[in-house]
Every structure is written in C-alpha cells, then in structure tokens.
C-alpha cells in the first residue's frame, strides 16, 4: 500500500522533512499546519518541491474545534474552515483532517454536529476538498471513533468521511472490530501510531509517547486488519508525536519510520519482506580498542583460553566453552575497549541478509580478504555492528580456523555468552527495539525501570524464545556524563562460586558490593547463612524468581575502557537478569573497585 507520514513525526523545517521523507522512500506525507505556517515557502512552492521529490501530499491537518458549537461560534468556524480549505487547495491536497472539538463544544448532540459537518462539507466541496473527521481520545463530546462515524453517517455528505487513528482507538481500549461496520469508501484517511502501555492522561500520552508500529504495546497489525476488512484503500500513514523523534536527525527517523511500515506490511502479508528465522545463538562478541591487553588480562583471570592470532589482522581470539571473544586492534587508533560487534549464528545466513536488506538495515563495512569466511552484516542504530553466519553443524564457524597458534580449549566453568547488554544513547532506543525485532525476529519483553545513582534507567530485553540470544537494552538518562554508557557481556557458567574464587586468586578485580546488600539478601530471600557468607566473601549477587526455585548468582568485573563482564549462573530455569541488583551495580560502578 502507499506509505505516508505526518510531518509532525520528524524534526526540522518543513523543507528538511520533505527531503528526509523522500530520501527514505516514503510515497507521501501529511502536512501538519504548524509546519507550513512556520515555513518561508508558499504553499505553491511546497507543492512543487514535493512533486520534484516524488512525494504526494496526502492530508492537511489539523482543523480543530469546529462542531458541536452554538450558531454564532459556528459562523466563525465556517469562515476559518474555508481559509484552511483554500490553503489545502494551494498545496494541491484533497483531504483535510478535522479533529473532534476539545475546547469550544457546548452542544452534546449528534444531530447538531452532523448538521454542522454537512455545512462544512459543502464549503469543502466548493474548494475541491473533503474532510476526514477524527475522534480525538480527549474530545469534549466526541472521543470514540464509533461516535465520529455515527455523526459522519448522519451528515451524509460525499465530502465528509472519517479519519481513523490507531492511537485514539487503542489508547481508550475501544474495540477496533467495529471499524468493519464502516464502508471503506467512507474511511478517508488512516493514521497509525503505536505506544507503550502507560498509566497517564491520554493527551500527554499521545503528544509525547507515541511510537512507530511494532515498538509499543498496541496490536497494530490487528487494528489495520479491521481497516482493510472494511475496504480501506488509502495510504498507511504514520502520525507519531514523540519527543525523541522531534529532536533527532530527521533522515534517520524517516528510515526508521519506513522500516516500521515495511515490518507492518510484512506482518499483514501485504508486501512480504524476505523471511528469515531468528538466530540460534551467539557466535562471538567483538571488543575493539587500540590496545586490548587489559581485556586479555581480565579474560585470562576468568579462565578464557587464548585461541590464537588472526593470520592477517591484528585480531586475537579468546574462548571458553562456546563463548568466543574477538579482540580487534585493527583501525582502532585512540579507541578504548568497547563492544564493537556481535556475531550471531542463524539458520540461513543468506536469508537473514535478504531480510536485513529488505528492511533497509545498513550493511557494516569491514575490510576482508578473499580467503576469509564472509559474514552477513548490519549496523544497529547505536552503531554496534551485527554479523551472522549459518549455524555450522559442529557449532564452530570456519572463521575460527583463521586464527593461528591458539591453545586447545579445555573444559572450564564458563560455557557460553548468556547476554550482551547494549547501553543505548537516548536517541536510538526505539529504533533499536524495532531493528532487533524486525530484522532478527527477537521478541521484546516489557520495559522496566531500574533506579540508578543518576536517575531511572529504562531496561528492555530483546530475546529469542529459547533464551539462546538475549540482548538487554538499557537507556541511561545521563549515560555519557557518568561513564555508565559502558556495555557489558555476560557469560553463562556452572559453579560460579568456584569461578569467582579462582578468578580472585588470579588477581581479578571484582566490582565491590556493599555489606548492606547481603543483609538485604538474607532477609528478602531467606538464604541460609553459609550461602550468604560465600556471596559476601566473593562479591556475588543473588536473585530468585517469585514463587519458584529458580535463582540466579552473578558478579561483575571492573570496567575496562567502556566494557565490563558479568558472569552468571542460572539455577532451576531462572529466566531473568537480576534486575533488582542493577541499582547496586550502578552505584558500585560509580565508586571504587576492590581486588
Ligand atoms: O494532539 C493533537 O492535537 C492531534 C492532532 C491531530 C491528530 O490527528 C491527532 O491524532 C492528534
Ligand atoms: Mg491523528
């Protein structure tokens, strides 16, 4: 279907927004009136620019507070509407959005509203435009799409139809199934927005927190299915009021936005995206730095085995069980250690590459040589590179044999990468959620908030159903300022107590945990004294799932550059991340470490 986006969804001037939408590949845009009136260019110039960029102008919006008013107020409203229709005509736009009255309505009567919309319809028709009536969720009297449709039906005018906006319907918990009762030809426009599940007033929720489809808690595919069943054939248009998107690069946001519509059309089987199955597991994690020796010391203390040096690049491999850490010093001048890339094993690497390309994921560029194993690649919104290979039958990909002079891996307590935590800059979180869910088929757990020393840290886990790949995304509000933008890699191990003891004897610096924490653990979980003593001695953290035997022991290393490691042991199907311990970790990372 045709794709469109409201200019209010992007930052910048109207001209910048049009360029961004065209560059991303949108078919059209909705022009938000405040963007036009703040613009230096005439409506005719904007119309010509859009035509030159290959964009249609699909809707002019919004016209507010027209219906349900006394006669004297209505006379002025008619005059105001006529002026707006004239502007729409100059833009070459044939549909104007009229939203339900939130401010001046005094008459709560469908017949009166219908009669007034009919008169407005006459004026619109004189200007060669039609009006799409939208029930705002906070409308004074009309706050439900079913009522908006009843009024439009009563108005019975060819230039008067409805505009459906998923936010207004789903935020109020209204059943979208009744959309199918509206004749498709009377649905003049469709606006789509997702949103997180929040308990707050609906106006603020709408104006600040809307998201692109697939990023929130609403069932957008189910919603659109009803609209299509009604016979709607117009554009799928995004109208996303969001504070982040209003202040970040419009070119990036436009691509991000279009990806959400590609994902949605795929989910609806309207325009299929190449199919690819979710990853089977982590293949490797890459840490890049000018000098990786400090990380090598840490890995050695934790029982990792040197897997050799790459035959043609300044890259080394460290292994423990199936966990592989690649340390890359190539083209890393002045870079401190950081997570640069995540490798995944997937059922079919070519299929994943086709899917990533269909979803407009940018490929990562790496210098490779002819004899090396090629990887599929994409760059995540935060700049982390993702690489993938088809899962090898042995579990070990061919690229491992490009490393020379390694020590054969021996059995040890560490056996796999458990999760890779990517702290996000605030600009890219929503984009990252959509990127990982759409390209890799990961599912997004509900977001949670963790108290940290500089404010709440939002945390959302993206994962495969079996937990083989888990990527928690954390968004720290002041992340960069206090250094907590560090990423971490968590490794799964057996016998974490023995690992911690060996690592301590080898001189590992642990993140130190305050005594108060252990009093709390003993009290909260009723953990026995010997266990608490062992936890306390080794700076280990503990968690338990409510109402089950599942529990979790973990510890953190100090931070090197902007990466640190976590070691975890999951007991009895514990499936979490010790989220209640995150405040202790965040506070400890701010203060000192002890060895
Ligand atoms: O927040 C608003 O006022 C507003 C305006 C126009 C819309 O289409 C909408 O959904 C909300
Ligand atoms: Mg709307």
Ligand showing the shortest atom-to-Cα distance for residue 138 = 1
Contact 309, 404 (CB under 8 A): yes
Distance 239 CA to ligand 2 centre (A): 6
Judge if the beta carbon of residue 266 lies within 6 A of ligand 1: no
CA–CA gap between residue 553 and residue 387 (Å, rounded) = 30
Q: Are residues 249 and 293 in the same domain?
A: no
- Find out whether 191 is annotated in a ligand binding site: yes
Q: Are residues 358 and 212 in the same domain?
A: no
Which residue, of 236, 267, 298, is where some domain finishes? Answer: 267
Would you say residue 536 lies in a domain? yes
- Find out whether 165 is annotated in a ligand binding site: yes
Q: Which atom of ligand 1 is nearest to the CA of 61?
A: 6
Would you say residue 47 lies in a domain? yes
Q: Are residues 315 and 199 in the same domain?
A: no
Given the structure tokens 């039958």, which residue do they identify? Answer: 393
Would you say residue 554 lies in a domain? yes
Q: Are residues 301 and 184 in the same domain?
A: no
Q: Are residues 154 and 285 in the same domain?
A: no
Ranges of beta strands (E only) in 337-463 are 338-346, 376-379, 385-390, 403-404, 414-424, 443-444, 448-452, 455-463
Would you say residue 255 lies in a domain? yes
Which residue, of 244, 267, 290, is where some domain finishes? Answer: 267
Q: Which tens digits make up the pLDDT trace of 523-568?
A: 999 999 999 999 999 999 999 998 889 999 999 999 999 999 999 9
Distance 132 CA to ligand 1 centre (A): 12
Judge if the beta carbon of residue 358 lies within 6 A of ligand 1: no
Q: Are residues 412 and 521 in the same domain?
A: yes
Distance 197 CA to ligand 2 centre (A): 18
Judge if the beta carbon of residue 62 lies within 6 A of ligand 1: yes
- Find out whether 127 is annotated in a ligand binding site: no
CATH number of the domain enclosing 216: 3.20.20.150
Judge if the beta carbon of residue 65 lies within 6 A of ligand 1: no
Q: What is the DSSP string of 111-180?
A: HHHHHHHHHHHHHHHHTT-EEEEE--TT-SS--SHHHHHHHHHHH--TTEEEEEEHHHHHHTT--GGGGG
Q: Are residues 213 and 334 in the same domain?
A: no
In which domain, by residue range, is 184 found? 3-267
Q: Are residues 460 and 534 in the same domain?
A: yes
Q: Are residues 99 and 248 in the same domain?
A: yes
Distance 99 CA to ligand 1 centre (A): 7
Of 200, 211, 201, residue with least CA distance to 242: 211
Would you say residue 491 lies in a domain? yes
Q: Which of 239, 240, 243 to mutate to test the pocket of ligand 1 (most atoms within 8 A of CB)?
A: 239
Q: Are residues 114 and 154 in the same domain?
A: yes
Assess whether the previous peptide bond of 223 is cis (omega < 30° from 0).
no
Rg over CA atoms, the chain:
28
CATH number of the domain enclosing 482: 3.10.180.10
Which residue, of 205, 239, 267, is where some domain finishes? Answer: 267
- Find out whether 566 is annotated in a ligand binding site: yes
Atom 11 (ligand 1): residue with closest C-alpha?
A: 136
Ligand showing the shortest atom-to-Cα distance for residue 190 = 2
Q: How many domains does the chain have?
A: 2
Q: Which residues pair with 63 in a beta bridge?
A: 98
Judge if the beta carbon of residue 573 lies within 6 A of ligand 1: no
Judge if the beta carbon of residue 162 lies within 6 A of ligand 1: no
Q: Which atom of ligand 1 is nearest to the CA of 165?
A: 10
Would you say residue 452 lies in a domain? yes
Q: Are residues 201 and 334 in the same domain?
A: no
Judge if the beta carbon of residue 237 lies within 6 A of ligand 1: no
- Find out whether 296 is annotated in a ligand binding site: no
- Find out whether 449 is annotated in a ligand binding site: no
Judge if the beta carbon of residue 283 lies within 6 A of ligand 1: no
Q: Which atom of ligand 1 is nearest to the CA of 191?
A: 8
Distance 460 CA to ligand 2 centre (A): 28
Collect all residues with Cβ–Cβ distance below 8 Å to 523 and sequence separation of at least 6: none
CA–CA gap between residue 40 and residue 15 (Å, rounded) = 9
Contact 475, 423 (CB under 8 A): yes
Atom 1 (ligand 1): residue with closest C-alpha?
A: 207
Q: Which of 4, 5, 35, 62 to mutate to test the pocket of ligand 1 (most atoms within 8 A of CB)?
A: 62
Distance 493 CA to ligand 1 centre (A): 51
Judge if the beta carbon of residue 203 lies within 6 A of ligand 1: no
pLDDT of the chain along its 595 residues, tens only? Answer: 999 999 999 999 999 999 999 999 999 999 999 999 999 999 999 999 999 999 999 999 999 999 999 999 999 999 999 999 999 999 999 999 999 999 999 999 999 999 999 999 999 999 999 999 999 999 999 999 999 999 999 999 999 999 999 999 999 999 999 999 999 999 999 999 999 999 999 999 999 999 999 999 999 999 999 999 999 999 999 999 999 999 999 999 999 999 999 999 999 999 999 999 999 999 999 999 999 999 999 999 999 999 999 999 999 999 999 999 999 999 999 999 999 999 999 999 999 999 999 999 999 988 777 788 899 999 999 999 999 999 999 989 999 999 999 888 778 899 999 999 999 988 899 999 999 999 999 999 999 988 877 778 889 999 999 999 999 999 866 544 444 568 999 999 999 999 999 999 999 988 889 999 999 999 999 999 999 999 999 999 999 998 889 999 999 999 999 999 999 999 999 999 999 998 899 888 877 543 3
Would you say residue 272 lies in a domain? no
Distance 163 CA to ligand 2 centre (A): 8
Judge if the beta carbon of residue 100 lies within 6 A of ligand 1: no
Q: Are residues 257 and 303 in the same domain?
A: no
Would you say residue 29 lies in a domain? yes
Q: Could you give the dihedral angle defined by the CA atoms of residues 460, 466, 469 and 471, in that order, rounded to the nearest 10 degrees? A: 0
| ipTM surpassing 0.95 | yes
């Amino acid at each position: 279907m045709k794709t469109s986006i409201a200019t209010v969804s992007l930052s910048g001037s109207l001209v910048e927004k049009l360029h961004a939408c065209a560059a991303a590949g949108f078919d059209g845009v909705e022009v938000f009136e405040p963007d036009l009136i703040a613009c230096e260019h005439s409506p005719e110039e904007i119309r010509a620019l859009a035509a030159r960029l290959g964009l249609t102008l699909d809707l002019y919006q919004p016209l507010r507070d027209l219906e349900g008013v006394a006669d004297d107020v209505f006379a002025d409203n008619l005059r105001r509407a006529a002026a707006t229709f004239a502007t729409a005509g100059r833009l070459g736009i044939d549909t104007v959005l009229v939203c339900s009255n939130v401010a001046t309505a005094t008459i709560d009567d469908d017949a009166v509203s219908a009669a007034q919309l009919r008169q407005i319809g006459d004026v619109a028709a004189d200007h060669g435009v039609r009006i799409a009536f939208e029930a705002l969720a906070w409308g004074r009297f009309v706050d439900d799409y079913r009522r908006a449709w009843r009024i439009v039906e009563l108005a019975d005018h060819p230039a008067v139809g409805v505009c459906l906006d998923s936010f207004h319907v789903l935020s109020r918990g209204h059943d979208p199934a009744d959309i199918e009762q509206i004749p498709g030809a009377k649905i003049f426009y469709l606006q789509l927005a997702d949103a997180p599940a929040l308990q707050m007033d609906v106006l603020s929720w709408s104006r600040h927190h809307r998201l692109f489809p697939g990023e929130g808690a609403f069932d957008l595919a189910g919603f659109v299915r009803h609209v299509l069943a009604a016979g709607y054939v117009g554009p799928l248009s995004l109208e996303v009021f969001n504070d982040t998107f209003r202040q970040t690069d419009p070119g990036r946001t436009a691509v991000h936005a279009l990806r959400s519509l590609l994902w949605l059309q795929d989910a609806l089987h309207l325009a299929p995206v190449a199919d690819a199955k979710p990853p089977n597991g982590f293949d490797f994690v890459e840490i890049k730095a000018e000098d990786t020796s400090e990380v090598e010391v840490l890995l050695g203390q934790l029982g990792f085995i040197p897997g050799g040096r790459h035959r043609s690049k300044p890259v080394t491999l460290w292994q423990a069980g199936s966990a592989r850490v690649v340390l890359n010093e190539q083209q890393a001048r002045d870079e401190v250690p950081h997570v640069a890339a995540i490798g995944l094993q997937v059922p079919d690497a070519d299929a994943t590459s086709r899917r990533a390309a269909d979803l407009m994921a940018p490929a990562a560029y790496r210098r490779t040589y002819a004899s090396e194993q090629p990887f599929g690649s994409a760059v995540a919104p935060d700049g982390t590179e993702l690489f993938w290979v088809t899962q090898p039958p042995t579990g070990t990909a061919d690229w491992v044999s490009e490393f020379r002079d390694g020590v054969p891996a021996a059995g040890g307590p560490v056996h796999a990468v458990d999760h890779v935590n990517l702290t996000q800059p605030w600009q890219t979180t929503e984009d990252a959620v959509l990127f990982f869910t759409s390209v890799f088929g990961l599912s997004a757990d509900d977001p949670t908030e963790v108290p940290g020393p500089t404010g709440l840290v939002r945390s959302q886990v993206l994962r495969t159903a079996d937990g083989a790949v888990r990527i928690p995304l954390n968004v720290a509000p002041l992340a960069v300022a206090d250094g907590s933008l560090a990423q971490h890699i968590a490794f799964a191990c057996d016998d974490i107590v023995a690992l911690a003891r060996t690592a301590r004897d080898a001189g590992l610096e642990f993140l130190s945990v305050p005594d108060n924490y252990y009093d709390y653990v003993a009290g909260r979980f009723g953990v026995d004294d010997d266990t608490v003593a062992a936890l306390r001695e080794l700076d280990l953290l503990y968690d338990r799932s409510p109402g089950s035997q599942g529990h979790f022991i973990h510890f953190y290393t100090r931070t090197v550059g902007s990466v640190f490691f976590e070691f975890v042991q999951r007991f009895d199907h514990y499936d979490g991340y010790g989220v209640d311990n995150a405040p202790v970790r965040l506070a400890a990372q701010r203060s000192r470490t002890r060895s």
